[in-house]
Amino acid sequence: MRKEFQIPLFWKFAIAIVTIVILFGSINAYLIYHDIQSALERESEKRAMNIAKTLAEQSVTYLLFEDYVAVQKLLDEEKALDSTIVYSFIVDKKQKFIAGSYDLVITPALIRANQIKDGEKQSIVIIQMNDLLGRKKIRDIALPILGGELGYVRVGINEESINRYVYNAVSHFWFMVGFFLFVGIIGALIFALVITRPINTIRDKVGKLKLESLGETKDITIKIRQNFLGYFPILFRAKDEIDTLTEKFNEMLIRLQNAYIKLNDAQKKLIESEKLASIGTLSSGIAHEINNPISGIQNAIERIIENPDKVEQNKKYLFLVSDAIKRIENVVKGLLSFARREEYQFTSVNPREIIDELNVLIGPKLEKSKIIFEVNIDNRCEIYCSKNHIEQVLLNLCLNSIDSLNDVAKEEKIIKIKFYCDTLFSYISIFDNGQGIPHENLETIFEPFFTTKEKG
């Protein structure tokens, strides 16, 4: 299984910038070090060769007359003119010391360090020399004087200055690399903020978005980059892919809002149509409930008309008429309450009120189908609900139970409703001894518009 981990966008930019800058910085530092040092060493070698040639040419006359004091003076003057000369001395053709600069003891080891072989016109070697200031890198030049007949001149040039120059150049380069790296990281931070702020705004908007708020909020669009980094007003702005993404996302939100409003309206119409369908189903029973009292009222009025003088008897008839009218009023009131379009209003409701109104609506059908209707209500139970909508749910379930029981042949047909509560929740259970729900429909019964009835 592939493992995933999250790295903020800033760190991705920073790691990429640091890697690229250090990689190219290292390559350039190596090239700078190599090219500058090579160029300086060539220049140092050329300069040392010129010094050695000058000494060889100027010392010929002095050597021919064996004026070693003049040779010594020549070497000292040349060394005084160039601070990079560590030593200069002359040996005869048998490599015996003749004269040298006054400030350095010329040892046999130094003389043997660079000797011209037969057939060579010059010899250049690198000598590592230790002194009180540490280890030095010396470029030693050996040139013959008058073809080697008068001896050889040796000049040692200190190349530590070259190393210091190259080191300083590379150090300055790395300082610049560090500066640009710092600027690059700051740029990465700003760039990451410019990118991530709109993305975070979209993420927060999606995280807080609720379907219920789509119909209530007028402006649900996302606004980004109103200010630079959230603080400075932007006078002009060139759009990029993030702006395009935000525009498309806003279009999606608007479409979602419109779809939700249409769906909500369709749901309300569906609920109303279900209520009308239920009323149509109940109409025959309700008509029976109204016709019976009306027949009683009619009979009572006829008796009163026939015997207007029987006051006591007529009073009884009037009381019967009043009871019949109240019965009709209750039926009509329950029907109107059920059919009324109501929003979700959650209140604490006594389950007995729901059952009484449900009885008015389904009582005739229960009586006609000879179905026993049992209700068990916990006296401590108060349910917090939208009363009208719970009545609709219970009515639909009871009508389905009645239809199911009408399709089976049983001596005793029962519908049971039970209300009970605990410390946290209220519960409603409905039971009937009909044919039950087919197993293949169990996973789809809660889908909108699902029905097994032919005419829905």
Q: pLDDT tens, 383-402? A: 888 887 788 788 888 888 88
pLDDT of 448 reads 56
**What does pTM read for this prediction?**
0.43
Highest mean pLDDT pick, 32-36, 102-106, 290-294 = 32-36
Write the pLDDT tens digit of every residue in 180-195.
888 888 887 777 777 7
75 within a domain of the structure (yes/no): yes
| DSSP 8-state code for residue 273 | H
Statement to judge: residues 33 and 55 lie in one domain: yes
When mean pLDDT is compared across 129-138, 250-259, 428-437, the lowest value belongs to 129-138
Which of 283, 309, 341 terminates a domain? The answer is 341
Statement to judge: residues 229 and 267 lie in one domain: yes
**Cα–Cα distance measured from residue 101 to residue 87, given in angstroms and rounded to the nearest whole number:** 6
Three-class secondary structure of residue 259 per DSSP: helix
Max distance between CA atoms of the chain, in angstroms, equals 182
Statement to judge: residues 107 and 139 lie in one domain: yes
When mean pLDDT is compared across 130-134, 351-355, 440-444, the lowest value belongs to 130-134
- For the chain, what is the domain count? 3
440 within a domain of the structure (yes/no): yes
Statement to judge: residues 411 and 348 lie in one domain: yes
Task: Kindly report the average pLDDT of the chain as a whole number.
Answer: 79
Which of 341, 363, 383 terminates a domain? The answer is 341
**Cα–Cα distance measured from residue 64 to residue 68, given in angstroms and rounded to the nearest whole number:** 10
Residue 450's contacts (CB-CB under 8 Å, 6 or more residues apart) are: 441, 444
CA distances (Å), 8 to each of 11, 122, 180, 192, 200, in order? 6, 64, 22, 9, 12
264 within a domain of the structure (yes/no): yes
Tokens read off for 293? 């009292």
pLDDT of 416 reads 93
**Cα–Cα distance measured from residue 57 to residue 71, given in angstroms and rounded to the nearest whole number:** 11
- Percent of the chain clearing pLDDT 90 (strictly above): 8
1 within a domain of the structure (yes/no): no
209 within a domain of the structure (yes/no): no
Residue 219's contacts (CB-CB under 8 Å, 6 or more residues apart) are: none
**Cα–Cα distance measured from residue 350 to residue 382, given in angstroms and rounded to the nearest whole number:** 5
413 within a domain of the structure (yes/no): yes
Tokens read off for 199? 């993305």
Q: Is 50 exceeded by the pLDDT of residue 456? A: no
pLDDT of 155 reads 93
Three-class secondary structure of residue 246 per DSSP: helix
**Cα–Cα distance measured from residue 382 to residue 348, given in angstroms and rounded to the nearest whole number:** 6
pLDDT of 262 reads 81
Burial class (CB in 10 A: 0-12, 13-18, 19+), 405: buried
Statement to judge: residues 92 and 149 lie in one domain: yes
Statement to judge: residues 115 and 56 lie in one domain: yes
CA distances (Å), 147 to each of 51, 123, 197, 267, 340, in order? 17, 13, 81, 115, 128
CA distances (Å), 419 to each of 244, 304, 355, 388, in order? 55, 47, 10, 17
Which of 319, 341, 363 terminates a domain? The answer is 341
Statement to judge: residues 238 and 322 lie in one domain: yes
Range of the domain at 414: 342-456
| Band (153; pLDDT cuts 50, 70, 90) | very high
Statement to judge: residues 159 and 243 lie in one domain: no
